[in-house]
Amino acid sequence: MKQNKIDERAYKKVIDVLKTQKQGITVADITAKTALPLETVKELVVIASDEYSGRMQVTESGEILYSFPRGFKSKYRGVGVTLKKVFQAVKKGAKTVGIWLFKTWIMLMLVGYFLLFMAIALIALVASTAISVSGSSDNRSSSRRNNGVGGFYAVSYILDLIIRIWFYSEISKSIDRSVYGYDYRAVKPKGRPLHHAVFSFVFGDGDPNADWEARERKAVISYIQANKGIISLPEFMILTGTAPQDAEQKITRYCVEFGGMPEATDDGTVLYRFEALLLRADTQDRSFAGLSAPIKRLHVFSKNTNKMNTWFAIINGINLVFGSYFLFFANTLGPIISNTQVRGSSYLYAIAYILFSGIFNNPLMVMTFILGIVPVSFAFLFYLIPALRYYNLGKTNEQIKLENLRKTLYQQVWEHPQLVHLEDVNPAAEEYRPKDFKGKTELLIKELGTYSIPEVKLAEDGTTIYSFPDLEREKLVIYKIRASVDASQFKLGSTIFDSHGKN
């Protein structure tokens, strides 16, 4: 059985659905649960029946019920199959390990460089203190002492500031906030690993709408199945949030993938029939009590607390300052060959140079790369990537809000096409409220007018009232046609053939 990567994913979806079913299930049932095209499901369910010795029951309607009473033990054996499974497991494990290593590397770069710079600064501070209390009367030593103490004042100030901030943070944690009516423990985030938190700051926590296509398709299929296989273009636009100029092309794709056919009535009303989706064993209504459109979730910058992200930004800023400092002096001062090169501002650089001289033959090159180029580049990207992501996130969320608003506005018009007040369209949830809400609402009502021309008049209070008589007529026609459909014609009927010989 040869399958490409996409087919294997689809095959797994079909198998996962089949494993949850104790009774027979049809192609339409599997399609509704997987959102895969009908033809794809027809092909894959036959492959599954062959591989796992499935039971096939042909009903009076001609539809086949698929079930797997013998379980899901594959008939395929041999070294090739075993090696394929091992390869897939290794590939999956390597991907998991790779992601973990990448997240851990980012954390180690941030925290590791911070600790390295603090260690160098602490060593320099200890050396400066030792020089200042040595009591030497040598003029050269005295000069060196003055340079060291004066030059390292900024470093000691930074260390003091960090210690004070940390101390305040620890003290604030120990305060019993319940005294002030605030249970700190009730809202404290629990147990998020540091490498996940750092990764979240830089790259976020993934797309909350990664499964959107499947969610949307399932919602449309559920609505079609709950409404006798018939859907109109306005209803489709409500469910998908698609603008009128794009809706016809999109619903045509649905017709191709799910066995739909457009149909025009005598008065010119166009509807879409998906009778193939009605041949199902599971007749449960999953349309959530009518025309209920799925809503896209807004993207968030990070699931970390603001305090945690602030600390990451501060630590990265410290790394950037130290890295820039070492890179600057490595390029301007170069190797330390005499005490006269050591000035106040270069004292920390001189201490680091002495330390690296005891380890490396070419300390300047190593310092330039390890203490300069690498941390500066990392710190720059650590700020740049979240900044770009934050900018794009705002635009993405505005588009999501507009799509969600389109759904709720179109639905309100569809429910009451003869009397539409834009002032009544006022959803409270943030997911429905783009910037310039009033302007966007007017834009969407004009957009809908390209599909059905509205009548506009002013109310006594000066507000604008829209009515869509053509939409009202279309709605009544659709409802009348649905009412005339006999749902019993789509019943599967009794079993007339059983592959396992049980009639």
Domain identity same for 117 and 28: no
Domain identity same for 384 and 401: no
Residue 131 pLDDT: 66
Domain identity same for 45 and 113: no
Domain identity same for 198 and 310: yes
Domain identity same for 195 and 329: yes
198 within 8 A of 303, measured Cβ to Cβ: no
Domain identity same for 173 and 317: yes
**CA-CA distance, 236 to 260, in Å (whole number)?**
13
CATH of the domain at 14: 1.10.10.10
Amino acid at 498: D
In order along its 503 residues, the chain shows pLDDT tens digits of 444 445 889 999 999 999 998 889 999 999 999 999 999 999 999 999 999 999 999 999 999 999 999 899 988 888 887 888 889 899 999 999 999 999 999 999 999 999 999 999 888 888 777 766 664 445 444 444 444 444 445 555 555 555 555 544 544 444 444 444 545 444 444 557 999 999 999 999 999 999 999 999 999 999 999 999 999 999 999 999 999 999 999 999 999 999 999 999 988 999 999 999 999 998 877 665 568 899 999 999 999 999 999 999 999 999 999 999 999 999 988 887 766 666 656 788 888 998 998 899 999 999 999 999 999 999 999 999 999 999 999 999 999 999 999 999 999 999 999 999 998 899 989 999 999 999 999 999 999 999 999 999 988 888 889 999 999 999 999 999 999 999 889 999 999 998 887 65
Q: Is residue 12 part of a domain?
A: yes
Nearest to 219 by CA among 347, 93, 346, 32: 32
Domain identity same for 354 and 331: yes
Domain identity same for 379 and 409: no
Q: Tell me which of 390, 425, 442 is where a domain ends.
A: 390
CATH of the domain at 407: 1.10.10
Q: How many CA within 13 A on the CB side of residue 456? A: 10
Helix or strand run (H / E) with residue 232:
strand 230-232
**Whole-prediction pTM value?**
0.82
Cβ neighbour number for residue 426 with a 10 Å cutoff: 11
**CA-CA distance, 56 to 502, in Å (whole number)?**
10
Q: Is residue 378 part of a domain?
A: yes
Q: Tell me which of 361, 390, 419 is where a domain ends.
A: 390
Q: Which 3 state secondary structure label does DSSP give 457?
A: strand
Q: Is residue 216 part of a domain?
A: no
Q: Which 3 state secondary structure label does DSSP give 465?
A: strand
Domain identity same for 198 and 166: yes
Q: What DSSP assignment string belongs to 233-288?
A: HHHHHHHHT--HHHHHHHHHHHHHHHT-EEEE-TTS-EEEE-GGGG--S-----ST
Distance of CA 58 to the CA centre of its chain: 42
Residue 77 pLDDT: 82
Q: Is residue 81 part of a domain?
A: no
Domain identity same for 378 and 403: no
Here the tokens at position 37 are 């095209």
Nearest to 447 by CA among 410, 484, 417, 479: 410
Domain identity same for 124 and 184: yes
Domain identity same for 146 and 193: yes
**CA-CA distance, 209 to 300, in Å (whole number)?**
12
Q: Is residue 18 part of a domain?
A: yes
Q: Is residue 94 part of a domain?
A: no
Q: Is residue 327 part of a domain?
A: yes
Pairing of strands 464-467, 455-458: antiparallel
Q: Is residue 109 part of a domain?
A: yes
Give the 3-state secondary structure percentages of the chain, helix then strand then coil, rounded to 5. Answer: 65, 5, 30
* Domain extent for 19: 5-76+494-498
Number of structural domains (the chain) is 3
Pairing of strands 495-498, 55-59: antiparallel
Q: Tell me which of 338, 368, 390 is where a domain ends.
A: 390
